[in-house]
């Protein structure tokens, strides 16, 4: 079993790799700015809050804003996943060359579907783990009024608590064990169930070590994202209050734009760091 990369080294190597190929990573992640532009246009056209609350009729432009916002929200996950695939494939290259970005974009077409299937299977497993606690809880809420015996209700309560605890434990375990299924599809060409098995075999015997290496680098990078968003929100709020005057509708619209667009802009810089860290950890797990 190969020795895992240390947490400090993982953070350092992630930052070094990101900084060394900053233009390429930002070029990939900037695809998300397309969504930001769509959402910006949609929010400009969107009906005012007072019109929605008063149930006033909306015109054609406002309707197009609502539709455009919905379309942007639908395609955002797929573009985000395309960015993920490109960043992982780009990071997998041992030597960065001028052609690396073009090749990573070309490979995106080849690896998108297999990795997307692996990611879908991963999320289905997590959903199944949640369902172990959620489904019995829902049934219990509906059936409890029809159960006359307090003893039976108490026993069912105990069973329900056990199922909920089991659900939480499985969510935690499976979230780590099967986390690398998409990476197996992207880097080792595993498909479907093979990717899940590969991920589980890599994590087996070092669950908590992997868990800490998944969580801590993300917390470090996300801390910078939160700080950047906090400062940008504060500055934007000052300008909104300065220029919007007494118009509540205009203030709400401007701040809605800020809350939608700013996280996407920050995400262009932060998301590659998260994906690079996971790729580095996967390569350490598989001793590559």
The domain limits of the chain are: 7-285
All residues at 6 or more sequence positions from 211 whose CB lies less than 8 Å from its CB, including other chains: 176
Distance CA 249, CA 53 (A): 11
Distance CA 104, CA 17 (A): 16
Q: How many CB atoms lie within 10 A of CB 53?
A: 9
Alpha helices, DSSP H, located in the chain: 7-20, 22-29, 32-45, 49-53, 60-91, 100-143, 150-177, 181-187, 193-203, 207-243, 248-285
Token pair 């690896």 in the structure block, residue: 111
Residue with more model confidence, 27 or 248: 27
Residue 98 has pLDDT above 50, yes or no: no
Average pLDDT over residues 7-29: 89
Average pLDDT over residues 163-176: 93
Residue with more model confidence, 50 or 260: 260
All residues at 6 or more sequence positions from 71 whose CB lies less than 8 Å from its CB, including other chains: 38
pLDDT band at 30 (very low <50, low <70, confident <90, very high): confident
Average pLDDT over residues 154-159: 82
Among 46-50, 65-69, 151-155, 193-197, where is mean pLDDT lowest? Answer: 46-50
Question: What is residue 100's three-state secondary structure?
Answer: helix
pLDDT at 51: 57
* Torsion angle, alpha carbons of 233, 234, 240, 243, to 10: -140
Residue with more model confidence, 145 or 113: 113
Average pLDDT over residues 48-56: 59
pLDDT tens readout for residues 208-263:
999 999 999 999 999 999 998 888 888 888 877 777 565 666 777 777 778 878 88
Residues written for the chain:
288
Angle at 12 between CA 7 and CA 14, to 5 degrees: 95
Average pLDDT over residues 64-69: 78
Please spell the DSSP secondary structure of 207-238, one letter per residue.
HHHHHHHHHHHHHHHHHHHHHHHHHHHHHHHH
């Amino acid at each position: 079993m190969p020795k895992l990369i240390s947490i400090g080294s993982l953070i350092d190597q992630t930052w070094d790799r990101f900084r060394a190929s900053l233009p390429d990573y930002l070029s990939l992640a900037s695809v998300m700015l397309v969504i930001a532009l769509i959402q910006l246009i949609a929010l400009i056209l969107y009906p005012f809050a007072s019109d929605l609350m008063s149930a006033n009729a909306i015109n054609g432009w406002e309707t197009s804003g609502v539709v455009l916002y919905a379309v942007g929200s639908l395609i955002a996950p797929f573009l985000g996943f395309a960015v993920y695939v490109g960043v992982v494939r780009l990071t997998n290259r041992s030597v960065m060359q001028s052609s690396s970005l073009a090749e990573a974009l070309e490979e995106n077409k080849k690896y998108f579907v297999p990795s997307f299937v692996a990611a879908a299977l991963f999320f289905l497993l997590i959903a199944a783990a949640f369902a172990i606690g959620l489904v019995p809880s829902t049934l219990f809420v509906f059936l409890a009024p029809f159960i006359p015996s307090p003893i039976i209700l108490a026993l069912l309560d105990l069973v329900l608590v056990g199922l909920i605890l089991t659900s939480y434990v499985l969510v935690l375990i499976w979230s780590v064990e099967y986390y690398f299924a998409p990476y197996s599809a992207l880097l080792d060409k595993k498909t479907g169930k093979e990717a899940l098995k590969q991920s589980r075999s890599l994590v087996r015997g070092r669950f908590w070590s992997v868990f800490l290496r998944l969580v801590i680098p993300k917390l470090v990078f996300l801390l910078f994202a939160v700080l950047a968003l906090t400062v940008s929100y504060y500055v934007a709020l000052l300008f909104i209050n300065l220029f919007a005057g007494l118009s509540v509708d205009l203030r709400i619209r401007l701040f809605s734009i800020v809350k939608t667009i700013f996280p996407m802009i920050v995400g262009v810089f932060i998301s590659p760091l998260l994906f690079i860290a996971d790729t580095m950890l996967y390569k350490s797990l598989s001793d590559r």
